């Protein structure tokens, strides 16, 4: 199955909203992590979202180039080709773009999609995220409106954020923000809806205490009821059709009962990065410890080529990452619900 068309992606989100489930969205940095994502979605018969961050794009372009746009395009093109061999629906998304990177990351990628469309090809990415949560809400929404119009012209869905996700991701550190900013208010949610109404389709990352990274149980105080109250406030004023397609950031390490609670409140996408990074790296570490004498040429010996061949341990990493992402499909109730062949 090629990457989902804009119409198919919209149908994916509609189905999740109606069915009270959500799609795992995994950040990828390489062909190996793309294949891990595709394996997980295929094994679970779940549709899903593959996303690229600014740092992921820079990494993928190579340490001598460090071009985040080039790397993101390379990963997206690879995903388009690889997804053709899988019988699930997959969408491509970019993650957390701060305002100072709009011109150097988002707009070039939107232009790349526009160029593809003129050639009769499908969108390069189906959605992008603007993370302007560091700005006052009025300035955040002004930027969001401009970008949403540009995205809508190319059948791209925009993800916006109001409130701040705590912690650090890709060098963007919000660990010092005031605690109240970790919780989006019903008034904020009303302001987002009224600012963006009628401009195009978007997803909304409202914050409810979620934090990037991995923490011991009890360290992060989530309040999913914030999503419920915000949705109720918006629909009370604007009707049932105003219900947000919500995004859960910082999903790694969240107890399954809290994940499931958010599904009833309109979450259709959950980002999972930290847990899949660990699941990728853990088998490599185990391999290195167990095959120490083979991986390293110790005391003048020659080692074991099969042990230090990157394919040996990267296959283990791919499988480990896929297994953890498959668990996320189960947690989010998307397993077995692919729309492949139905739309």
Report pTM.
0.93
Q: For the residues 279-297, what does the mean pLDDT come to?
A: 97
Q: For the residues 278-290, what does the mean pLDDT come to?
A: 98
Q: Pull the structure tokens for residue 35.
A: 């294949």
Catalytic sites, residue numbers: 95
The domain locations on the chain are 6-331
Residues 112 and 124: beta-carbon distance below 8 Å: yes
Closest listed residue to residue 145, CA positions, set 97, 205, 193: 193
* 109-113, 181-185, 255-259, 293-297: segment of lowest average pLDDT: 181-185
90-105: per-residue pLDDT in tens? 999 999 999 999 999 9
Fold of 6-331: TIM Barrel (3.20.20)
39-56: per-residue pLDDT in tens? 999 999 999 999 999 999
Please provide the average confidence, as pLDDT, over all residues in the chain.
93
Instruction: Count Cα neighbours of 92 within 13 Å in the Cβ-side half-sphere.
Output: 25
Residue 67 has pLDDT above 70, yes or no: yes
245-259: per-residue pLDDT in tens? 999 998 777 889 999
Closest listed residue to residue 243, CA positions, set 189, 184, 187: 189
Classify the C-alpha dihedral 321-324-327-328 as positive or negative.
negative
What's the CA gap between 116 and 118, in Å, rounded? 5
């Amino acid at each position: 199955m090629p990457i989902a068309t804009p119409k198919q992606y919209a149908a994916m989100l509609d189905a999740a909203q109606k069915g009270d489930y959500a799609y795992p969205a995994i950040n990828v940095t390489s062909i190996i992590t793309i294949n891990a994502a595709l394996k997980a979605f295929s094994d679970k018969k779940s549709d899903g979202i593959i996303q690229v961050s600014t740092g992921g794009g820079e990494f993928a372009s190579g340490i001598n180039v460090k071009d985040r746009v080039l790397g993101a395009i390379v990963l997206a093109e690879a995903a388009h080709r690889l997804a053709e061999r899988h019988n699930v629906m997959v969408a491509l998304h970019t993650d957390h773009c701060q305002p100072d990177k709009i011109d150097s990351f988002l707009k070039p990628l939107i232009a790349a999609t526009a160029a593809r469309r003129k050639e009769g090809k499908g969108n390069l990415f189906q959605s992008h995220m603007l993370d302007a949560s560091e700005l006052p809400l009025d300035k955040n929404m002004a930027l969001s409106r401009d970008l949403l119009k540009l995205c809508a012209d190319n059948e791209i869905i925009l993800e916006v954020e109001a409130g701040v996700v705590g912690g650090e991701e890709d060098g963007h550190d919000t660990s010092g923000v005031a605690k109240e900013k970790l919780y989006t208010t019903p008034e904020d949610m009303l302001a987002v809806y009224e600012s963006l109404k009628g401009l195009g389709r978007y997803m909304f990352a409202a914050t409810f205490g979620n934090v990037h990274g991995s923490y011991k149980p009890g360290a992060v105080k989530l309040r999913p009821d914030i999503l419920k109250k915000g949705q109720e406030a918006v629909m009370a004023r604007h009707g049932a059709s105003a219900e947000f397609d919500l995004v859960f950031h910082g999903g790694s390490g969240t107890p399954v009962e809290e994940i499931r609670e958010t599904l009833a409140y309109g979450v259709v996408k959950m980002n999972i990065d930290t847990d899949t990074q660990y699941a990728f790296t853990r088998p490599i570490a185990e391999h290195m410890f167990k095959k120490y004498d083979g991986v390293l040429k110790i005391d003048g010996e020659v080692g074991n080529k099969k042990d230090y061949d990157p394919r040996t341990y990267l296959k283990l990493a791919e499988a480990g990452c896929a297994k953890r992402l498959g668990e996320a499909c189960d947690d989010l109730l998307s397993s077995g619900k692919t729309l492949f062949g139905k739309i």
